[in-house]
Amino acid sequence: MPSFWEWKIRLSSLLILLSLQLRAQKDSSAIEDFKNKKVFYLDMGYNNTPFSIDCPINGTNETIKYKNNFKTLLGIGFAYKWFHLRIGFPIFGYVKDVEKWGESNQFDLGFNFTIKKFFFDADFKTVQGYAIQDYAALDSNFISLNMPQLTMPSVGTTNFSLNSWYFNDRNFKMAALRGKQAHYKDLVHTWYIKGSFNLFGVDNNGKSIVPQEITNMGSTQTKAASLSAIDIGIVPGYAFVNRLKNWQFSGWLGIGGVVQSKFYVANETRGFLGLAPRYDIRLLGGYSDQKFFAFVVTEFDNKSIRFSEIKYNLNSYSIRLVGGIRFGK
């Protein structure tokens, strides 16, 4: 007859096997996969990339807000198994009045892929052409009829990001989260760790980013023609997705920091080492059944560079409506 310890070992083994079997059943049923179907979709939305500069003006600290003008973007996409192609282009005109806000040219290139519990994303963005909002309130000598903005077509921002997310729960798949080639069938939530590498900044083609008319002449930093940084860091966070009938909602939130090598260029180039905060926010929600899907997708990004007398803060966000149809078995 087996001893007490033998029974304990057998019972423990049985419980472990049962737990693994239940976990496997949960894993297999958490996601409904459509990768063997042909997927056609359209998306429409916009990307906005404003930034601000905090610096002393006339003896007080002020926030100068730079706004870009943007167009509505239309995307046409196709996905089948491992292949995924999307072409996007602007439609209609600028969202804001060109006479008041000027024109902005935007370029965006990115790709992403998943390996087991890791999701990788690379993105390169440039925006050329900004306007300072309510500039007349900063410069009493600025005279413009019905046009309080100062357009600065030579100001441009550049952002390159390489990010990797590790999701602790293997059920958290980006393909199902995005809803084109798969969708969820149950509640899934997990913690994650994001690793981030960034190269970004703002430049005014050799001229001061802050207009000379309001520049503090005693500060070299406020005369800077370029502000840039290279940083690397970790952002821990929490992610979830839930499905109610044919409606799916998901998102994640992370807060962390980066180690930053930062530079400004005025009469000379100066470099410093420091720390900067970083957050990670994405929200998605919509409808998906066996054949049709429609989602609203939002993304937010924040980057900052702080010196002793000037701070650059970039806030970019996008919102898109994605809808499509699946063909095949």
Q: Do 320 and 70 meet the contact criterion of CB atoms below 8 Å apart?
A: no
Residues 223 and 84 both lie in one domain: yes
Residues 61 and 18 both lie in one domain: no
Residues 39 and 129 both lie in one domain: yes
pLDDT on residue 146? 65
Residues 52 and 24 both lie in one domain: no
Residues 318 and 196 both lie in one domain: yes
Residues 44 and 143 both lie in one domain: yes
In tens, the pLDDT along 233-277 reads 999 999 999 999 899 999 899 999 999 999 999 888 899 999 999
CATH number of the domain to which 54 belongs: 2.40.128
Residues 117 and 194 both lie in one domain: yes
In tens, the pLDDT along 87-103 reads 877 888 898 989 889 99
Task: Name the residue with higher pLDDT: 101 or 28.
Answer: 101
Residues 7 and 137 both lie in one domain: no
For residue 20, pLDDT over 50 is answered with no
Domain housing 27? 1-32
Residues 179 and 201 both lie in one domain: yes
Residues 15 and 117 both lie in one domain: no
- Residues 52-68, mean pLDDT to the nearest whole number: 89
| Region label for 205, one of left (φ > 0), alpha (ψ between -120 and 50) or beta (otherwise) | left
Q: How confident is the model at residue 11 (pLDDT cuts 50, 70, 90)?
A: very low
Residues 28 and 90 both lie in one domain: no
User: How many Å apart are CA 318 and CA 324, to the nearest integer?
Assistant: 19
For residue 36, pLDDT over 70 is answered with yes
Q: pTM (2 decimals)?
A: 0.83
DSSP 230-293: EEEEEEEEEEEEEEETTEEEEEEEEEEEEEEEEEEESSSEEEEEEEEEEEEEEEEEEEE-SSEE
Least confident of 88-102, 123-137, 187-201, 291-305: 88-102
pLDDT on residue 139? 85
Residues 173 and 300 both lie in one domain: yes
Structural domain count, the chain: 2
